[in-house]
């Protein structure tokens, strides 16, 4: 079973050949976080095909979160030469997880604010989106244990909404499509972290010094 070796926020050097201090999630914790990520994808896929996007003619997707997760979680060129999004600097687990936490905080606030609006089908929409909220909150707990991922400040999303329920639902549908795209990125990023490949690369580089 693959072990989840997780780096601390910075490399703490004692000598020129010291290895970074690291924490380790149990196999059970890794499996739980991975299962939650899969549940999030399945949940968003379900709501996009259900009441939230019902009757919406546009297939537009908007990634409304300002977090730069694609860039923050991109592996370095040396670590994954087949990855479309790469960077020349070393992969920072803390930077990646912190950006993901910012995403989760944004979409949590987005859904919470949407549920306070006048809805087309309040019972159905509240039921399905409340499930999404539960998964997001559980994932935030997971991410807080990964490399000390910190909770981002709460966001104000009420300014996104107007007085027309159909227009609001159109915007919500578009942003949930964007959330689905971001959730795919997060799944890949956490799979990379859980694999421990970035830790192996860092260890290899350090032992060459």
Residue extents of the structural domains in the chain: 30-207
Of 30, 45, 55, 34, the closest CA to residue 131 belongs to 45
pLDDT in tens, 1-17: 333 433 222 223 222 23
Q: What is the pLDDT of residue 151?
A: 62
User: For helices 93-114 and 165-195, what crossing angle results, to 10°?
Assistant: 160
Provide the 3-class DSSP secondary structure of residue 137.
helix
Q: DSSP letters of 35-58?
A: HHHHHHHHHHHHHHTTGGGTT---
Widest Cα–Cα separation across the chain: 63
142 pLDDT higher than 60: yes
Res. 24 pLDDT band, cuts 50 70 90 = low
3-state secondary structure of 95: helix
Residue pLDDT, tens place only, 79-108: 444 444 544 567 788 888 889 999 999 999
Topology at the third CATH level for domain 30-207: Growth Hormone; Chain: A; (1.20.1250)
């Amino acid at each position: 079973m693959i072990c989840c070796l997780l780096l601390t926020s910075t490399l703490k050097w004692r000598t020129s050949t010291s290895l970074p201090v690291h924490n380790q999630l149990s196999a059970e914790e890794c499996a739980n976080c991975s299962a939650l990520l899969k549940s999030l994808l399945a949940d968003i896929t379900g709501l996009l095909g259900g009441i939230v996007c019902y009757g919406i003619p546009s297939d537009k997707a908007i990634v409304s979160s300002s977090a730069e997760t694609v860039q923050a979680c991109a592996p370095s060129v040396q670590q994954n030469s087949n990855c479309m999004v790469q960077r020349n600097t070393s992969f920072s687990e803390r930077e990646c997880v912190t950006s993901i936490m910012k995403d989760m905080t944004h979409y949590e606030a987005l859904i919470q604010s949407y549920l306070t609006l006048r809805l087309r089908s309040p019972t159905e929409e509240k039921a399905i989106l409340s499930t999404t909220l539960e998964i997001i909150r559980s994932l935030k707990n997971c991410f807080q244990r990964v490399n000390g991922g910190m909770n981002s400040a709460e966001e104000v999303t009420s300014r996104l909404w107007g007085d027309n329920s159909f227009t609001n639902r159109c915007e919500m549908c578009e942003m949930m499509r964007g959330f689905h795209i971001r959730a795919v990125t997060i799944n890949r990023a956490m799979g990379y972290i859980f694999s421990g490949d970035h830790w192996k690369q860092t260890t290899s580089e350090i032992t060459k010094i």
